């Protein structure tokens, strides 16, 4: 399949009173047409900032690098060109559908809006299409739902509506940032099914951000593991689960999910993601790594590809480290 999005050495840094936070630091990876790429890692690893950089939803533009969409650098587009892409080609759905839906507008009005703006449909046609979209995302009695307000729907239905809005203009890429984290397990499975259907039916690419490896196993074609602003491993989902290389990825796969009050799944790898303002030019995982060597504290491991295309950034796989 053709490349759809290519992140090239993306750097998104924030200047804070405590210092520079390198939220995304020299990140490169590719999303192909019709492919689901899962971005995995604990919170604060730069997954969401990567997506927000692509959507250009951050106040400060990235400090460096390129994000090619169909070969064109998104970071160089002007405001108008960007809002066209945002409405038409790339859509995003977030974790909390309630905060993304407008409480005073009906579901129909909210699905219609992008159709009227981007596809120039009139009100009547937009409403008709809204009803089709509500039905497409698996909600029964769409003629009734179209005139409902968000608070009248369940959490699972609201997330389906967000997906309907995201799909309204037939995007090439759907970005989903922890789309099922706030939902219970049954509804979560239904939403994931829906996203898989959409991908099959429309050949939509999906960039799925998650900290849940169960979701990754079910959804991903390709997996990018991020840690403290860096890509530390990437491979096909089959390869990653069969032969994980990075100690962090191995930890994620070994760790048993635990359920906390907010029903988020957390993984019990000892230690914490490092303070993002204090990151050195070394392996950011060294504090938590059982295999840590001297070189790991002193030098950053390069992200290197093996013959199968499996990439890892870890000194355990570098000859330079082994001869020391």
Question: Whole-number minimum distance, CB 280 to Mg ion, in Å?
Answer: 24
Question: Whole-number minimum distance, CB 22 to ligand SF4, in Å?
Answer: 17
* Number of residues that this document lists for the chain: 324
Adjacent-strand bridge partners of 31? 5
Q: Distance between CA atoms of 189 and 262, rounded to whole angstroms?
A: 18
Comparing CB distances to ligand SF4, the nearer of 145 and 289 is 289
Distances from the Cα of 144 to the Cαs of 8, 141, 148, 191, 217, in angstroms?
46, 6, 7, 21, 36
Under the criterion CB under 6 A, does residue 311 sit at the interface with ligand SF4?
no
Quick check: 311 and 295 in contact, CB under 8 A?
A: no
Quick check: 33 and 203 in contact, CB under 8 A?
A: yes
Q: Which of 12, 36, 48, 204 binds Mg ion (CB under 5 A)?
A: 48
**For Mg ion, which stretch binds (CB under 5 A), given 5-13, 47-55, 219-227, 267-275?**
47-55
x/- track of binding to Mg ion for residues 2-41 (CB under 5 A): ----------------------------------------
Q: Considering only residues 155 through 194, tell me which ones interact with ligand SF4, judged by CB under 6 A.
A: none
x/- track of binding to ligand SF4 for residues 274-293 (CB under 6 A): ---------x-xx--x-xxx
Quick check: 216 and 41 in contact, CB under 8 A?
A: no
- Residue with tokens 């060294």, as numbered in its chain: 286
**For Mg ion, which stretch binds (CB under 5 A), given 31-39, 45-53, 57-65, 127-135?**
45-53
Phi then psi for 231, rounded to 5 degrees?
-80, 125
Question: Whole-number minimum distance, CB 248 to ligand SF4, in Å?
Answer: 6
As given in the structure block, the two tokens for residue 131 are 């009803």
Under the criterion CB under 6 A, does residue 69 sit at the interface with ligand SF4?
no
Under the criterion CB under 5 A, does residue 181 sit at the interface with Mg ion?
no
Q: Tell me, what DSSP letter sits at residue 71?
A: T
Q: Which of 169, 217, 266, 316 binds ligand SF4 (CB under 6 A)?
A: 316
Within 8 A by CB and 6+ apart from 184, the residues are: 156, 263
Residues in contact with ligand SF4 by the rule CB under 6 A: 246-247, 283, 285-286, 289, 291-293, 296, 301, 314-316
């Amino acid at each position: 399949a053709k490349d759809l999005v290519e992140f090239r050495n993306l750097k998104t840094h924030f200047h804070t009173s405590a210092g520079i936070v390198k939220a995304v630091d020299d990140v490169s990876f590719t999303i192909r047409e019709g492919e689901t790429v899962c971005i995995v890692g604990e919170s604060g690893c730069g997954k969401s900032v990567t997506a927000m950089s692509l959507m250009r939803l951050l106040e400060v533009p990235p400090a460096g690098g390129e994000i090619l969409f169909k070969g064109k650098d998104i970071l160089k587009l002007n405001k108008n060109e960007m809002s066209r892409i945002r409405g038409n080609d790339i859509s995003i759905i977030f974790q909390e559908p309630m905060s993304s839906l407008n409480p005073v507008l009906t579901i129909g009005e909210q699905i219609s809006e992008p159709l009227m703006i981007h596809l120039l449909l009139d009100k009547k046609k937009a409403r008709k299409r809204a009803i089709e979209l509500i039905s497409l995302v698996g909600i029964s009695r769409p003629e009734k739902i179209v005139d409902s307000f968000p608070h009248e729907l369940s959490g699972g239905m609201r997330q389906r509506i967000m997906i309907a809005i995201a799909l309204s203009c037939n995007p090439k890429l759907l970005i989903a940032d922890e789309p099922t984290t706030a939902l219970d397990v049954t509804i979560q499975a239904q939403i994931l099914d829906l996203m898989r259907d959409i991908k099959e039916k429309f050949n939509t690419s999906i960039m799925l951000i998650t900290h849940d490896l169960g979701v990754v196993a079910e959804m991903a074609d390709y997996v990018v593991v991020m840690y403290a602003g860096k890509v530390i491993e990437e491979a096909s989902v089959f390869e990653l689960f069969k032969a994980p290389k990075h100690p962090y990825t191995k930890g994620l796969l070994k760790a048993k999910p635990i359920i906390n009050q907010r029903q988020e799944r957390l993984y019990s790898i000892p230690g914490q993601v490092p303070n993002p303002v204090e990151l050195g030019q070394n392996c950011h995982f060294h504090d938590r790594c059982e295999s840590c060597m001297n070189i790991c504290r002193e030098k950053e491991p390069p992200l290197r590809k093996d013959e199968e295309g499996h990439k890892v950034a870890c000194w355990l796989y570098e000859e330079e480290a082994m001869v020391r």
